[in-house]
Amino acid sequence: MSIAVSIENLSFTYAGKENPALKNIQARIEEGSFICIMGHGGAGKSSLCYALNALIPKFFRGSYLGRVVVKGNEVSKQTVSRLSRQVGLVLQDFEAQLFSTNVELEMAFGPENHALPRLEIKKRIQYYLKSIGLEHFGQRQPATLSGGQKQRLAIGSVLTMEPDTLVLDEPTTDLDPKGAEEVLAVAQGLRQENRTLVMVAPEPEIAMDADRIWLMRDGELIAQGPPNEILTDTSKLISCGVKPPSLLELFQSLGWPGKPMSIVQALTLIEQHQLFPQRKQIPPPLSSGQIKGPYILQAEDLEYVYPFQGIKALQGINLTIGEGEFVALLGQNGSGKTTLAKHCNGLLKPTTGRMLVQGKTTSAYSHKELAQKVGYIFQNPDHQIFARTVEEEIGFGLKVLGIDSKTIQRRVTEALEVVGLQGYEKEIPFTLTKGERQRVAVASVLAVQPQVIILDEPTTGLDYGHQRHMMDLLRDLNQKGHTIIIITHSMWVAAEYAGRTIVLKEGCIVLDGPTRSVFADESKLAEASLAPPPLVQMSNRLGLEALTLKQMVQELKR
């Protein structure tokens, strides 16, 4: 096998930064192989991707040592645009890289730049539209596509340049489970065409099919090898902020033989070694609909139609949420999760029906009053951060409410303590990491001390360590009496933390109940294009009640 890319002792420090983003990277990519890069946030995964197509050092300046060689050509001696014939890079944020007015033109842009003849471009567009499964979308506006379709288009727009090596930076992070599946299917198809594929993978389940996995920590490539070697080293994975494969973790904690990566493998192992008497029945659904405290949120026949498009986003939602609950809202993009959540703090007003907060309709409150009762944290913390210091940022909501400065100071300190950012008062919010900025956003809502806290995708874009940190924080707040509602695509987060799970599909609630019984109904979940996390699937197969690793180990040891 010939070598597609070789990275030789590469180090890079961004101009103006002290710590290097990449440290002595030494690696080779064989032609036609599939490499997965894993690591914590800020480990240098994206930087490594940029180094492959010359964005580093051509677009990003800094001190560059060592070299990267693609097909015998040194990357740093080429321009990004010339290298685009050999290395295609799909950036993480697919929204920002689509700019044409229809799908066809988006895919034509690369070959247009290479000055290919029009007929050839046409041929390529037709061919690659098929490989990304968008044959019938040639004339559609990219903005009207779903997330998964947009990401596939982003991949397609790079494929038409026919690069030998394709680099995908976290192609599934911002997608719902269905969209992620679609994108992975495209990647799978590309592998069969013998293209060299480099992918930054946030979850181990994606990396299982890789030929080799590169594990990164603090700019260093600390391990590389085949999946069954890298993914089985649980402690090393955790030290790199990567979630270990849950079934493997289960087998290791129980001391069971074998290293299963999939449900099928695990079940065969169990049968082979007769590890556990398989019970056939699915656990009885726990009593549903019991609500602890008094109602805090009530939706009555809530319908919502978006004014400009006339799309009915919610169709007759009836829902009561009690004080002190921890609720997860699940569903595909466009199922109405966010629309429903935005009704809870009055950002949207029902078209028909009512939304009550503590027994009063949301329209009877002012935004100010509602903000004190229901806090809402948007997915992207950068949409709200504006102040010069963390202190000012967190105190903003309180200042707006007209609270005196002494109380503000006290509450800011408290809120920072809760999110674990003590002493950050004078820091500049924009210089913090994504995880820290997210926590600043949470603190700024916490400081107002609302009873209900709603979070849109609190774990997206965070690595495993930070996801845990964020969710543990929410659990603490819940135990202190706050009602927590999260919108999430991450099934294990819902399984492990939420007491109650609500599944939406096309503006209707299809499942609502204790998380355990919702995840037991795999067929209904599948209708909403969702599936329980592997561990819960296992639990369902074995007839257990466990939702988390700990519970499962306990139950199986009994």
Partner 1 sequence: MNIFLYLDKETWIHRLDPRTKLISAVILFGICLCFNHPVYLAVISAGIFFLGLWARALSNFWKLRYILLLLILFSSILWPFFVSGPTRWWGWGPFAISRESAFYGLAMGLRLSTFVGIGLIFLSTTRNEELTNGLIRLGVPYPLAFALSTALRLVPTFVGAGATIIQAQVSRGLDLESGNIFRRIGKFIPQAVPLFIYAIHHTNYLAMALESKGFDPKAKRTFYYEPKMQRIDFMVLGFFVLLLFVLLYMRLGLGLGVIIKGRL
Residues numbered 337-396 forming contacts with partner 1, rule: CB under 8 A: 342, 345, 347, 366-368, 371-372, 375-378, 380, 382-387, 396
Cβ neighbours of 37 (radius 10 Å): 28
Instruction: Provide the token pair at 464.
Output: 């495993």
Which of 115-123, 177-185, 229-237, 272-280 is the region at the interface with partner 1 (rule: CB under 8 A)?
115-123
For residues 185 and 403, which CB has a smaller minimum distance to partner 1 in the complex? 403
* Residue carrying the six token digits 């599939």: 34
**Which of positions 203-262 make contact with partner 1 (CB under 8 A)?**
none
Shortest reach from residue 201's CB to partner 1, in Å: 20
Shortest reach from residue 104's CB to partner 1, in Å: 8
For residues 97 and 265, which CB has a smaller minimum distance to partner 1 in the complex? 97
Shortest reach from residue 383's CB to partner 1, in Å: 4
Q: Is 84 in the site for partner 1 (CB under 8 A)?
A: yes
Instruction: Provide the token pair at 446.
Output: 């916490």
**Which of positions 283-342 make contact with partner 1 (CB under 8 A)?**
306, 308-309, 342
Q: Which of 17, 61, 77, 118 binds partner 1 (CB under 8 A)?
A: 118
Burial class (CB in 10 A: 0-12, 13-18, 19+), 368: exposed
Rounded distance between C-alpha atoms, residue 13 and residue 61, angstroms: 8
Q: Cβ(269)–Cβ(256) under 8 Å?
A: yes
Which of 33-41, 63-71, 113-121, 479-487 is the region at the interface with partner 1 (rule: CB under 8 A)?
113-121
DSSP helix/strand/coil, 386:
coil
Q: Is 127 in the site for partner 1 (CB under 8 A)?
A: no
Q: Which of 65, 286, 364, 401 binds partner 1 (CB under 8 A)?
A: 401
For residues 129 and 448, which CB has a smaller minimum distance to partner 1 in the complex? 448
**Positive or negative: CA dihedral 63, 69, 72, 73:** negative
Number of helical (H) and strand (E) elements in the chain, helices listed first: 24, 20
Rounded distance between C-alpha atoms, residue 172 and residue 179, angstroms: 8
* Residue carrying the six token digits 């499964």: 133
Q: Is 117 in the site for partner 1 (CB under 8 A)?
A: yes
Q: Is 129 in the site for partner 1 (CB under 8 A)?
A: no
Q: Cβ(86)–Cβ(71) under 8 Å?
A: yes
Shortest reach from residue 453's CB to partner 1, in Å: 11
Q: Which of 2, 16, 72, 79 binds partner 1 (CB under 8 A)?
A: 79
Burial class (CB in 10 A: 0-12, 13-18, 19+), 272: exposed
**Which of positions 39-68 make contact with partner 1 (CB under 8 A)?**
53, 55, 58-59
Binding-site size for partner 1 (CB under 8 A) equals: 72
For residues 247 and 485, which CB has a smaller minimum distance to partner 1 in the complex? 485
Q: Cβ(296)–Cβ(483) under 8 Å?
A: yes
Shortest reach from residue 402's CB to partner 1, in Å: 10
For residues 400 and 526, which CB has a smaller minimum distance to partner 1 in the complex? 400
Shortest reach from residue 399's CB to partner 1, in Å: 9
Q: Cβ(195)–Cβ(32) under 8 Å?
A: yes
Q: Is 143 in the site for partner 1 (CB under 8 A)?
A: yes
Q: Cβ(408)–Cβ(395) under 8 Å?
A: yes
Shortest reach from residue 93's CB to partner 1, in Å: 6
Rounded to the nearest 10°, the torsion over CA 158, 161, 166, 167 is -50
